[in-house]
Structure 1
Amino acid sequence: MTGFAAKGIQGSSIFSLNTINENRGVSFAGGGDDGICTIPNMIGRYNPHILGPSRGDHIVEYCGDHPELDNLNAAQSGALAKNLDHQLDYLLPAIKSYPGIDLDNDWKLINVLIGYVDSCDSCVLDIYSGNNTELYESYVDKALERIRASIPRVLVNLIGISNVGDIISRTANQKYCQPFPFTSVQVNRYLCLCTHHDDYHQGLASVVEQINDKLHGLSEKYNALNDESFAVMYSPSPVNFSSFPLEAISQLIRAFLSDIDCFHPSTKGHEWSARATWKGMFLPKDERPNVLNWDDIDMDQVYCPTELDRFQV
């Protein structure tokens, strides 16, 4: 959750260095910029001493990091499941040395969102031959076991993915999604390789479904251990993209998708995702929605947990 492209085109043209910024402070699962609805900021409403949210903006990164801004947000743009190990190489030592953390007694929430790039490349990557997602599962499983063995008192939130093929279909021929002047080039078709294959739509949907099944299965596997110091939550993300507005809502608030690439969420999209994920974290597993429409989430309100509420694993 790097927040890439979240703030959209800044100024009159896409041709700006700001276009390739990660806006980490507005990341729905890891950001901590003031005035933005994110999961860390909602936790901060109840615990103002929360540590580790990412702040501000910086140029896109793939293998590097900016600890002074990233803090405990170890996400990498363009990462595959196999890159989780690299992200943990940054995150685990950072947690252990982070000022103010009582490693043995403080609870840590680690949000994991991985699989969008895997699904988008599944038609060309050998590891997904035949739409097989066993290796994906093994990478996530290995990451969970590494966290469990390294850090006490952790809740890992595995966030499910949606079918990005639906984004491409929803945004086809939309001027909002054609940021380059004098051309109708639609950037998002080049960010998800498998959408170039018209006959692969069902294959892409199958991979997305399998990835979510694997994430759900891993949460069940680790929770069956009854480890008092480690738990895994699965937060499904069954987003119905056909219900989302595409036109800019005002001069200050953009639609759900960034107008840079119509693929990554805008700031408003991150805030919508934060509200949806946060609310779902308190719902029993069998009450979490099968479909999420835009109007299902009230953008003027946030779910306020009661004293009896607990995160549901």
Structure 2
Amino acid sequence: MVKSIVLNVLSLFTLVFISLAKNVTDIKDCPALSRRTPSISVNDLRVDDIKVIGALGDSVTAGFGIMGFDKNAPVFIASQKSKLEYRGLSYSIGGDRGAGTMSNFINHFQPEVFGASIGTRLAGICTDKPRIDVLNGALSGAIAMNLDGELDYLISTMKSTKHINFENDWKMINIQIGSNDMCGACNTSYMNQVTPEKYGKYVDSVVDRIHSSIPKVIVNLISSFDLSQVFELSAANSQYCAARKDGTGDAGCSCAVNSEGLNKMKEFSKGYDQKLLEIYKKYQSNKSNSFAVAYQHCNFEFSKFSMEFFSTLDCFHPSLKGHTWLSKAFWNQLFLPQSQKPNHLLFNTEETIYCPNDSDRININ
């Protein structure tokens, strides 16, 4: 009888909570959170506790190709623009005014958050423009093996930036890597460095280093895309993609040229996700008050996606609409326990943004 009453009360509480939840199309429409003393534990972390945001990854996080290929521009100008990284629009770390990004969502609740990248720059092999990159350590072309070098940049910049209280500010570091690793599975020059085992080793190593080197931090692991599905979809929509018309439709991905390569990418994608899940579970059983790992999976059904998700530059990188949707999808997952995160995600240009309330915490369970 008592158990039944308790369950009914919990059910009623859940219904009330759901009715109070608010979803909006613009983060500006989310009500502010009530002020409180900043959390002393990562297990009680709200988004407005985050004062520093950083990111590690590859060309997706670097914002490569976001604005597509301008077919109406003179050839020289279109060619130059096709080499740009739109770092300020990157879904997880972009800070351009009005951009729909996770860092801008956090900024709505915590105006003092620092680290978002801004503006554009030519794709490069190093993070050498701190006024643009800020704490976006992602590099176009990077594989998991390169994460350690990206973290070097992040740590040194955090320690040398006057806006950051390195010891006391709560930090979030978003990590997404794997697209180039997957493509490298068919590249004989470094295919041994991109196996799921090596991938897991490199990501685990950099997470361990963050744990030991950066105080008060939550690492947000975001799984990579299953690129085999991407190439299957784009092959059927080659007219959408400017690059396919000049013979570079594989976007430089050696595994995309035949079914054997695509199957290998599919296999590696599953292997990478399994390694990320293992890293997440490792820290579930090794909890502390100052460090945690969250995991956001990318179970995308690309076969059902509109081509609007992809850049017209190469049908490989996400477009501006794609990045905007990704920011909303992963933001909404932040507040859900692992068991309640959606099994499949479908691209939706009308996706809404969840407004966290005072009782919401960044969920690390």
Pairwise same-fold verdict (TM > 0.5): yes
**Correspondence for 1:167:** 230
Alpha-carbon distance in 2 for matches of 1:239, 1:186: 27
Q: Say if 1:190 and 1:28 are closer, same or farther in 2 by CA, change over 3 A.
A: closer
Alpha-carbon distance in 2 for matches of 1:269, 1:48: 25
Alpha-carbon distance in 1 for matches of 2:187, 2:140: 19
User: Cα RMSD over matched residues?
Assistant: 2.0
**Correspondence for 2:4:** none
Aligned with residue 45 of structure 1, among 108, 124, 127: 108
Q: Say if 1:132 and 1:77 are closer, same or farther in 2 by CA, change over 3 A.
A: closer
1:2 aligns with 2:62: yes
**Correspondence for 2:34:** none
The Cα shift of 1:163 comes to 1.0
Whether the aligned pair in 2 keeps the contact of 1:186 and 1:261 (CA below 8 Å) is: no
Provide Cα deviations, 1:171-227, integer angstroms capped at 9, x if missing partner: 1142544415xx834534142211113223322111100100100110111232112
Aligned with residue 34 of structure 1, among 97, 102, 110: 97
The Cα shift of 1:128 comes to 5.1
Q: Say if 1:206 and 1:74 are closer, same or farther in 2 by CA, change over 3 A.
A: same
The Cα shift of 1:307 comes to 1.1
Provide Cα deviations, 1:223-264, integer angstroms capped at 9, x if missing partner: 321121111111101111122222xxxxxxxx2111111111
Counterpart of 1:55, as a letter, is I
Whether the aligned pair in 1 keeps the contact of 2:310 and 2:322 (CA below 8 Å) is: yes
Structure with the greater alpha carbon radius of gyration: 2
Q: Secondary structure at the match of 1:155?
A: strand
The structure whose RCO (Cα within 8 Å, separation 6+) is larger is: 2
**Correspondence for 2:358:** 307
**Correspondence for 1:22:** 85
Q: Secondary structure at the match of 1:189?
A: coil
Q: Secondary structure at the match of 1:272?
A: helix
Counterpart of 1:227, as a letter, is S
Provide Cα deviations, 1:50-74, integer angstroms capped at 9, x if missing partner: 1010000011111342101100000
Whether the aligned pair in 2 keeps the contact of 1:239 and 1:293 (CA below 8 Å) is: yes
Aligned with residue 288 of structure 2, among 220, 227, 230: 227
Alpha-carbon distance in 2 for matches of 1:17, 1:144: 36
Whether the aligned pair in 1 keeps the contact of 2:89 and 2:320 (CA below 8 Å) is: yes
Counterpart of 2:146, as a letter, is N
**Correspondence for 1:212:** 273
Q: Say if 1:202 and 1:11 are closer, same or farther in 2 by CA, change over 3 A.
A: closer
| Identity among equivalent pairs (%) | 35
Aligned with residue 151 of structure 1, among 214, 221, 226: 214
1:270 aligns with 2:316: no
Runs of 5+ unmatched residues, structure 2: 1-60
Provide Cα deviations, 1:243-301, integer angstroms capped at 9, x if missing partner: 2222xxxxxxxx21111111111111100000000001111101111211124x733x3
Provide Cα deviations, 1:129-171, integer angstroms capped at 9, x if missing partner: 6994111111111101111111100100010012111111111
Alpha-carbon distance in 2 for matches of 1:72, 1:122: 29
Match runs of 1:1-313 below 5 Å: 1-10=61-70, 12-13=72-73, 15-125=78-188, 132-179=195-242, 184-185=245-246, 187-246=248-307, 255-295=308-348, 298-299=350-351, 301-313=352-364
Alpha-carbon distance in 2 for matches of 1:129, 1:62: 22
Counterpart of 1:261, as a letter, is D
Whether the aligned pair in 2 keeps the contact of 1:178 and 1:186 (CA below 8 Å) is: no
Alpha-carbon distance in 1 for matches of 2:175, 2:331: 14
Q: Secondary structure at the match of 1:294?
A: coil
Alpha-carbon distance in 1 for matches of 2:189, 2:120: 35
The Cα shift of 1:28 comes to 0.3
Q: Say if 1:87 and 1:132 are closer, same or farther in 2 by CA, change over 3 A.
A: closer
Q: Return the TM-score normalized by structure 1.
A: 0.90
**Correspondence for 2:33:** none
* Number of positions where the alignment pairs a residue of Structure 1 with one of Structure 2: 301
Q: Secondary structure at the match of 2:82?
A: helix
Counterpart of 1:298, as a letter, is E
Runs of 5+ unmatched residues, structure 1: 247-254
The Cα shift of 1:22 comes to 0.2
Whether the aligned pair in 2 keeps the contact of 1:177 and 1:186 (CA below 8 Å) is: no
The Cα shift of 1:16 comes to 2.8
The Cα shift of 1:91 comes to 0.6
Alpha-carbon distance in 1 for matches of 2:104, 2:157: 20
**Correspondence for 2:47:** none
Alpha-carbon distance in 2 for matches of 1:275, 1:2: 18
Counterpart of 2:237, as a letter, is Q
